[in-house]
Structure 1
Amino acid sequence: MIEVRSVRKHFAGVRALDGVSLSLHAGEVHALVGENGAGKSTLIKIITGVYRPDGGELHYRGEPVAFARPRDAQAAGISTIYQEVNLVPLRSVAANLFLGREPVNRFGLIDYRRMHRDAHEMLTRYGIAADVRGRLGELGLGVQQMIAVARALSTEARVVIMDEPTSSLEPREVDLLLGVVAMLRERRVAVLYVTHKLDEVFRACDRVTVLRDGRVAHSGPVAGTTRLRLVATMLGRDIDEVRRHGATTFGDEQRDATGAPLLHAEGLSRRPLLDDVSVDVHAGEVVGLAGLLGSGRTETAKAVFGADPVDAGSIKVGGRRARRWSPAAAIRAGLGMVPEDRKAEGLIADLSVRDNIVLAALPRLTVAGFLSERRQAELVDTFVKRLRIKISHPGQKVRELSGGNQQKVLLARMLCLHPKVLILDEPTRGIDVGAKAEIQALIDELAGLGLGVLLISSELEEVVEGADRVLVLRDGAVVGTFRGDQVSEDRIMRTIATAAEDDDD
């Protein structure tokens, strides 16, 4: 269906792709993996007409092509599902599903009755529970992602490109999506599946291509390789070295909570999202919040940080009770937060790396009421080096960075405030194994220096290996607490399942 032949692409002297070749066949699910910055997104954009290659050829269904724009690729039968939900949050679910191809009646007006009926049938087909008349932006990120998937598949495409399609999905939705992928294979649709989650490669894909530094480092059947070999190939390291690190790069040391907590949140309630949630975080302790999507993890984090109001409850930081709580007050008290959705709630895409890092620290960087360029430059240089953020220069637009480096910019913004407690909501979502390892090691380092960390992750192994204590949430309430050797994936999952059975009773 698609054949990429020796494609090259450069940006301002930086080599993004260097002689990359790849073939994609009908009825095949082909995984494309690699670290952020390896060239995956650039290759997708060349296939879909966003970029023109500097060299090489693209063949589609046996014929050479050069799509001038994404619409041309879509018209030819190539549909793309991006990691970031590129839909219109203020419009209805149905309007988003049929955006640009709305059904019309005999008078040339939009046939809303038909559009709503067809939208409902489409969501039912893919097991998505949502009101087609409701605004898209009022739904959770995972549901929005599934709606983006449904929209892309509704075009009857011959080729479907999925760029990190499960990064915002809970396990049940992941199973549903992989079932859709299997259905596409049966229909002889060619699927290019871009992911950082190697478990999905072995569950759903037939072949795998690894990109490293803009070149093909490996390509072959999934059945002929192992997870360990893929990770080693992506990182360009020896297999034995990768084997020693295990599933994550968190250390084995367990930290015991002593003394008064840095953060004490008690009885946080906001019906129907939170129900009497209490959480403590001590100096040098990593506290994990575990639970399924919608269990109240993010709602708890936002309530603690003052981003969402609560109906009841109290918060103390450093023993002092918080009043008129807001993100600004939380920052002044010593809290920092890296939100789940870095695109919508964290970064300002068109500002530079420098401006994004210093944004929250501007009041501290003034001299006689004027911003000090020197102090800004010193601060940015310190954290770019400390977090190993890969940039061409501090004035580079943050939207030009890879997902892992964008996440590091957000971390730098919070760390330059010297917080007492850092709230991390999905800190490694949608980033490659190398950047993930660096961030996990940084969390360990920060805790070792006495910082309190509140950690949320949909990857249960990350919570289990990274946290000293874990609170399990379901339906906005704490249903279990584990510490030290009690923390295990099995105990957490059994607690969630038991709480679900009690709810059914």
Structure 2
Amino acid sequence: MSEFLLEMKNISKSFSGVKALDGIHLQVRRGECVGLCGENGAGKSTLMKVLSAVYPYGTWEGEILWEGHELKASSIRETEKAGIAIIHQELMMVPHLSVAENIFLGSEISNHGFLDYDAMNARAQELLAKLNVHDINPALPVLNYSGGKQQLIEIAKALNKDAKLLILDEPTSALTATEIRTLLDLIKSLKAEGLACVYISHKLEEVAEISDTVTVIRDGTHIATRPIGELTTASIVTMMVGREMKNLYPKEEHAIGEVVLEAHNVSCWDVTNPDRKVVDDVSFKIRKGEILGIAGLVGAGRTELVSTLFGAYPGSHRGSVHLDGREITIRSPRDAVKAGICMVPEDRKRSGILPIIGVGHNMTISVLNRFAAFGLIDEHEELAQIQAEILRLKIKTADPMLPIASLSGGNQQKAVLSKMMLPDPRILILDEPTRGVDVGAKYEIYKLIFALAKAGVAVLMVSSELTEVLGISDRVLVIGEGRLRGDFVNDNLTQEHVLAAALGQSTQMA
């Protein structure tokens, strides 16, 4: 028997003559977790698509050995049958089907030509119990459960297919701290039972905790594979970006001017439960050139607050917004953009991009009137703007007209930023601007934020990463259970201060 469960040797893959992978090596032993690290666009997802036969044998070069034998799979069904299961960053769930129906999707249990729901529910319960999950009802729709619970359901689905290798692609990007802890502990217990894992994450502290070895790739090439004991998060970052990064937050001095926007007594009610307030009488101000961070626990009402300011909150809400001391009415995002308020949404897949449209057109859609004359678009002028933006934001794309969905998450996020920067906003709202983005792309986004502040733009940023909030904000608002629980100047402010305020505990600033 081979020492390795999986060996990928000299894997190369090209798209339209452009090499996305160039001689990549990856090895995984039974019961081992390999952390796969690299910047957005480095080739991590492409490599996993080769392994899982999204790109079938014959469309790439190299060799895959599975349990010592060459694997020449032509479909995902074949790799799943072999024991390879991939859980994507965007969970592949059918929300209105039950938990059991999702677990057995494509491999349903039938009895005399009819689906045997009792058998599927019972088996689903067994699988969840094996994962030490006892608070999920297999008969209820998946949409009843949080992102963390849905991750566990996906793992149960993989175990139902007798998975020997579990590939997790950014599994914690939308999970709470408690859900992350549950998932990492579960992976450790599955490893102890012999399940192998490839763990892809930009959260290097998770990679360090869960991985036995780390493989780093950069620009489609293999950089290094080393035991985790020989590495630090700093050394992983250096290999990922090809340079030492001593300071992740490239702070630049910027002047803070007069108050530009004031929100007064903003309240919002839950879309699904109109009797419940999710934002409760919040008021604040933001100044020209100021970076105002909004911190708080998941579910505190941060996204609802900024969505209301942008005219995008679908539920009931009230309050007033003043721009330069004058009250303005914002009923829709169109009104907000006209007033000089732009927003990069939390969920770029659902609200930020048009996936089948080209990268360039996704960026210029917010300012098409600039290129229009007599009902026609000046395509040459538009293309010049697109190329300038691609260069300015360092967006990696083989062609500006490639569908944006074909780009990595970080490059998609840069395109969404460009779309919201092109209207030259006075206030830019950023909701989780670096979620699912690698450390190198984060650095570039932070530089953009500081450049905007230096140019006088007021930046309002929501982030679940306290280090990020403290790393770039001039001032921090803390939201807890829909209420404003703190408004701190970011001078010697600590994570402990912010968390204490979010939890409603009294705190003294040093």
Residues 157-189 of structure 1: per-residue CA shift (max 9 Å, x gap): 111011111111121111111011101111100
Q: How far apart, in 2, do the equivalents of 1:203 and 1:249 lie?
A: 24
Residues 1:334 and 2:340 aligned together = yes
C-alpha spacing 1:220/1:486, structure 2 compared with 1 (3 Å): closer
Q: Residue in 1 aligned with 2:49? A: 45
Alignment of 1:92-491 (within 5 A): 92-104=98-110, 106-116=111-121, 119=124, 125=131, 127=133, 135-137=141-143, 141=147, 143-237=149-243, 239=244, 242-243=245-246, 245=247, 248-251=248-251, 253=253, 256=256, 258-270=257-269, 271-308=276-313, 309-323=315-329, 325-491=331-497
- SS class of match (1:409): helix
Q: CA deviation at 1:117?
A: 5.6
Q: CA deviation at 1:269?
A: 2.8
- SS class of match (2:260): coil
Which one is further off, 322-331 or 160-169? 322-331
Q: CA deviation at 1:404?
A: 1.1
Q: How far apart, in 1, do the equivalents of 2:143 and 2:329 lie?
A: 30
Residues 88-137 of structure 1: per-residue CA shift (max 9 Å, x gap): 23444443333223343x34323445545655665674558666566545
Q: How far apart, in 2, do the equivalents of 1:295 and 1:153 lie?
A: 34
- SS class of match (1:261): strand
Unaligned segments of structure 1, at least 5 residues: 501-505
Q: CA deviation at 1:310?
A: 3.3
Q: How far apart, in 2, do the equivalents of 1:294 and 1:128 lie?
A: 23
Q: Give the partner amino acid of 2:251.
A: G
* Identity over aligned pairs, percent: 39
C-alpha spacing 1:252/1:151, structure 2 compared with 1 (3 Å): farther
- SS class of match (1:220): strand
- SS class of match (2:277): coil
Q: How far apart, in 1, do the equivalents of 2:483 and 2:100 lie?
A: 33
Q: CA deviation at 1:194?
A: 0.9
C-alpha spacing 1:476/1:109, structure 2 compared with 1 (3 Å): farther
Asked whether the 8 Å contact 1:262–1:420 carries over to 2, the reply is no
Q: How far apart, in 2, do the equivalents of 1:122 and 1:314 lie?
A: 51
Which one is further off, 128-137 or 40-49? 128-137
Number of matched residues?
A: 493
Residues 1:70 and 2:76 aligned together = yes
Q: CA deviation at 1:147?
A: 3.9
Asked whether the 8 Å contact 2:268–2:304 carries over to 1, the reply is no
- SS class of match (1:325): coil
Q: CA deviation at 1:302?
A: 1.3
Normalized against structure 1, the TM-score is what?
0.91
Unaligned segments of structure 2, at least 5 residues: 270-275
C-alpha spacing 1:415/1:151, structure 2 compared with 1 (3 Å): same
C-alpha spacing 1:153/1:488, structure 2 compared with 1 (3 Å): farther
Q: Residue in 2 aligned with 1:21? A: 25
User: How much is the aligned-residue C-alpha RMSD, in angstroms?
Assistant: 2.5
Q: Give the partner amino acid of 1:17.
A: L
Q: Give the partner amino acid of 1:298.
A: T
Q: How far apart, in 1, do the equivalents of 2:368 and 2:357 lie?
A: 15
Q: How far apart, in 2, do the equivalents of 1:159 and 1:393 lie?
A: 35
Which one is further off, 281-290 or 475-484? 475-484
Asked whether the 8 Å contact 2:354–2:404 carries over to 1, the reply is yes
Residues 269-327 of structure 1: per-residue CA shift (max 9 Å, x gap): 32332222223222111111112221212122212211114332222334332335111
Q: CA deviation at 1:439?
A: 0.4
